[in-house]
Each structure stands twice: as C-alpha cells, then as structure tokens.
Amino acid sequence: MDLGLSGQHVAVFGMASGIGRAIAEGFVDEGCVVRGFDRVAHPAIDTFIGDVASTAQVMAFADGLERVDHVVYCVGVGSGKFGFPFWNLTPDDWPRVLDLNLTGAVRAAHAFAPKLIGRGAGSMLFLVSVAGQIGSQTDPPYSAAKAGLINFVHCAAKDLGPHGVRVNAMAPGMVKTDLNRAVWAAGQQRLAPDARQDYDTWADEKIRKVSHLGRWQTPPEYAALACYLASDHARNITGQTLNIDGGQVMHA
C-alpha cells in the first residue's frame, strides 16, 4: 500500500528511544522529513534538545519549523514506584507524571495547532496507554494522566475537525521498553528477595496473564499504524483511540 507520505514534514516528540524512535524512523522510511524533540538526540534525525515540561521550549521547537504536516507525541513517564494500593504513593508523586504525560501533550497541541489550522490539513497523534482505559493500579498517576490525554484527544478532534485536522490516540499494551522495565523494577522492590523474578521470567508470566494472543507487542507495529493514520487512507479517522494490545482491552 502506497501511503503517499513522501515529502511530508513530521514533528515527533519523544523520539530518541522506544516506540517514539520506531515511529520517527518509520516516517523516515516513508520518505518524510522528520524533526524530533527529546532530551537526547537521535543519531540520524535532526533533534531539538528540550523538555516537554517547558512551554517556552515546546513553542520554540514549533516556531523553528517552517512547515509541519503531522505531529506525534510519544512521551510516556511513570512515577517509578509501585502504586498498588494507591497510597503506596504520595500526592507529591503525581505532578511530574501528570505534567509530562498530559500537560506536555497539551503544550504540543497549543504549539502546533495554528500551523495545522493554517494549512487546513494534517494530523496529530498522541501515544496513550491501555492503562488509561482500564484504571491500571500499577501506577495510578500514569494511568490517570493517559486517561486525561484520551479525553483531551476527543476535545482537540472536535475543535480541529472543522479546520481539516485530524486528532487520534494510539494505545500500546505490553511492549518491552525502558518504561516497561521500570514497572518491573518498581514491583520487584516491594517483594521479599526470595520472591523476586528476573525481567524475562516476569515478562513471560505477565504477557500470558494479560494478552489473549499471549505475545508481546513491538515498536514497529506502532510505527506502521502511526504512518497509516497520517496518510490520506485514514482521512475519515479522528477522535479515536486505537489499541495495539494483543486483545488486552476489549470493549463490549
């Protein structure tokens, strides 16, 4: 399938590693001009070094791009603690997680909406999580932030639709990323030493419990969907949360 993306310009937040890196590289493979925003540089993609917690830096990134057709927000940060029950955390554990996962995405939307409105076309895509749909007890601040972002996607899709701009969310399930390893590490810390598991053993048991297909998802799968959603083949898809989760979340 020809996605027809060659020559289009894509801004990707959180593209130095994990799913964000795969998405950025996927757009490059489609012939797009990709610009990244992250705290560290991608070795082969022009990167604005910045922090999504800074409105000024996000705005400077957008202002420095003469053209943009698609914006992808791939930032995902957990509390680094095991949140079950929720009072294992404190209220002070919440602000940073909410800011980077939710408010950072809002900053990106504010920065790029005028450019996309001016073109009368284009798309925004936000990486959320199945945690935002099921109320995951593993990390309540992360779960709540992603749930809030799903709702913001609905709001943004309604606001930008009349301007020809589509807004969607993509929800990963179980992916072996640094964030997933952080979840494993936080959970192991609360166990007695003789009850702890190495990452591979934990991961094997976890995926068999939560995925109906019984297999891990991989970053290239999200890159393929992200490119499709940016293409004209998806011209009637907006305001949606699309899961790649092995059947972890099913809505009757």
The total of structural domains in the chain comes to 1
Q: Is residue 2 one of the residues assigned to a domain?
A: no
Residues 6 or more apart whose CB falls under 8 angstroms from that of 239 comprise 153, 154, 157, 158, 161, 167, 168
pLDDT digit string (tens) for 162-204? 999 999 999 998 887 777 777 778 778 878 888 788 888 887 8
Q: Is residue 216 one of the residues assigned to a domain?
A: yes
Q: Is residue 1 one of the residues assigned to a domain?
A: no
Q: Is residue 92 one of the residues assigned to a domain?
A: yes
pLDDT digit string (tens) for 57-107? 999 999 999 999 999 999 999 888 877 889 989 999 999 999 999 999 999
* CATH classification of the domain holding 227: 3.40.50.720
Run of H or E residues at 210: helix 199-210
Per-residue tokens: 45? 């993609």
Q: Report which of 61, 51, 76, 72 is spatially closest to residue 8, judged by C-alpha positions.
A: 72
Q: Report which of 179, 197, 194 is spatially closest to residue 136, judged by C-alpha positions.
A: 179
